[in-house]
């Protein structure tokens, strides 16, 4: 691992935390695949001299998700569409509940990657989750994990009497650089 021992804080100024969604159902062509950015988040890496002494904590404001891109669909998303999606996420999907991750284990995965296991709290429900983070020699961190909404008690959004639905599995990604000391 090429991160110096110590405490490292990350947030939106250091990179992006995003969610990618897909669409399904008989009317899937009418909907959009979304790229949603989490605009208010904070991560803390406590890096020990030994990798096993390392911990990762991430807190995200569930009301800070903003649609950055919508691909596919019958017509382009406009600002009103993006605002409507934001409101639906706040009111119906995440219900304004915080998003938290706490690592329980950090181990070497090889090839400049670390394997992280921990507990995710999403929409008021907590459960285990695991993912890999790639760590570049320049301090860049990147990784992604697939989150199945129904595992956290979230009913994937649907419209048109269920003919258009957000896929149950969404991809959460981080791409950030450690701040310079």
Model pLDDT for residues 38-67, shown as the tens digit of each residue: 999 999 999 888 888 899 999 999 999 999
Pairwise CA distance, residues 11 & 78, whole Å: 27
Boundaries of domain holding 105: 6-177
Give the dihedral of Cα atoms 111, 175, 137, 8; nearest 10 deg: -110
Any idea of the CA torsion for 36, 41, 46, 47, to the nearest 10 degrees?
Answer: 30
Number of H helices and E strands in the chain, helices first, is 1, 14
- Given a contact cutoff of 8 angstroms between Cβ atoms, the answer to whether 30 and 76 are in contact is no
State the burial class of residue 57 (Cβ atoms within 10 Å of its Cβ: 0-12, 13-18, 19+): middle
Query: Is 4's pLDDT higher than 60?
Result: yes
Fill in the DSSP letter of residue 138.
Answer: T
What CATH number should be reported for the domain holding residue 60?
Answer: 2.40.128.110
Tokens read off for 174: 């981080």
Residue 21 domain-assigned (yes or no): yes
Sign of torsion over alpha carbons 82, 125, 113, 15 = positive
Tally of domains within the chain:
1
Structural domain includes residue 142: yes
Report the predicted TM-score, pTM, of the whole model to 2 decimal places. 0.92
With respect to residue 1, please indicate whether it lies within any of the assigned structural domains: no
For 89, counting Cβ atoms within 10 Å of its Cβ (0-12 exposed, 13-18 middle, 19+ buried), the class is buried
For residue 181, name the pLDDT band (cuts at 50, 70, 90).
low
- Please give the average per-residue pLDDT across 135-152, as a whole number: 92
């Amino acid at each position: 691992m090429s991160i110096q021992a110590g405490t490292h804080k990350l947030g939106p100024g250091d990179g992006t935390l995003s969610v990618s969604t897909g669409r399904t159902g008989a009317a899937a062509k009418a909907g959009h695949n979304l790229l949603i950015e989490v605009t208010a988040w904070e991560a803390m890496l406590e890096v020990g001299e030994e990798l096993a002494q390392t911990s990762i904590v991430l807190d995200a404001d569930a009301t800070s998700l903003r649609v950055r891109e919508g691909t596919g669909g019958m017509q382009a998303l406009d600002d009103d569409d993006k605002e409507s999606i934001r409101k639906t996420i706040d009111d119906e999907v995440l219900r304004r509940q915080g998003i938290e991750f706490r690592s329980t284990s950090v181990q070497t995965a090889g090839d400049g990657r670390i394997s992280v296991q921990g507990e995710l709290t999403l929409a008021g429900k907590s459960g285990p989750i695991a993912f890999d983070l790639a760590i570049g020699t320049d301090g860049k961190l990147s990784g992604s994990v697939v989150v199945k909404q129904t595992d956290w008690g979230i009913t994937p959004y649907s419209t048109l009497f269920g003919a258009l639905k957000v896929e149950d599995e969404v991809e959460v990604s981080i791409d950030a650089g450690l701040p310079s000391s």
